[in-house]
Structure 1
């Protein structure tokens, strides 16, 4: 058979149309499960006994999360055995990555988008998994990620401003830094 038959201009056109059909079908099927993955901060099972007063992550009372006040689950408590509170937040070792080996632009080294390589995420590493209520997992995970993001942002804001003063060509906002940091954990 030659090009142009069966409504396809060439092999690429044929494969593109098959790819689009597969994408459309997967997207349609995924829509039926979309709500199964949504967490709700106002879920009473997050706090154990007391119901949350809000589903708004900016006004959520993270200190009421089970185990949050004992200090063992504070997001910034540990960075792979290091004291995260003392770790330099913007540095050559913990900041953005620049290299001549990983990415190239016209043969020159390039930088990966600026992001934190180590996050205040100790609480995510210490989520209780024994006797865990799988019906509550999505709500608990949302609360824990928001809890980590809150403290990660608080730990970076002051240093971010100082870094921008010293590095005038650095124009990334704190929101962008956080988005890029947390993109790695999905």
Structure 2
């Protein structure tokens, strides 16, 4: 799960980098008075990157469609359904949060019926992460308040702290009051510190 989490974060970061590059190209071209030919070459390079993203998007949609067909099999076990809904959640998380929320809820429902408590908590955290990306901070805060770290494995505790850090970041970015901003920054620092401590070899069982 942590590997998928890192991959999801990487995709979001890559998208931000692409947009930043576009703005930087435009800014540098205007400020330095680059020739029109050079400017067009830079735009062509960006066009190629956009085309590659289109290919990636088409492949992802094909993979998602194939997985959805597989999950229609009535003979699938509950564990396979949970795994499949989890994969759909991660596939949709970075670009279609409504669908990510839908499949996280489906995963939670199957896990609850199967009595797999760990997967229920994991699905709840999936929902919370979706809320964070969608900017649904009230729903995110309510969801985290419903969960107890005492019921979590160390891996789920790390996931919980990561999602909690997203809430702190979201709230801090919206805060204009300097006193509240300082408090949220302190809360975020505490969450990161706890998360790093849990990821050290001594505490991770490595």
TM-score normalised per structure 1? 0.29
Larger helix share, 1 or 2: 2
Larger strand share, 1 or 2: 1
Q: Which has the higher contact order (CA 8 A, sep 6+)?
A: 1
Larger Rg: 1
TM-score normalised per structure 2? 0.27
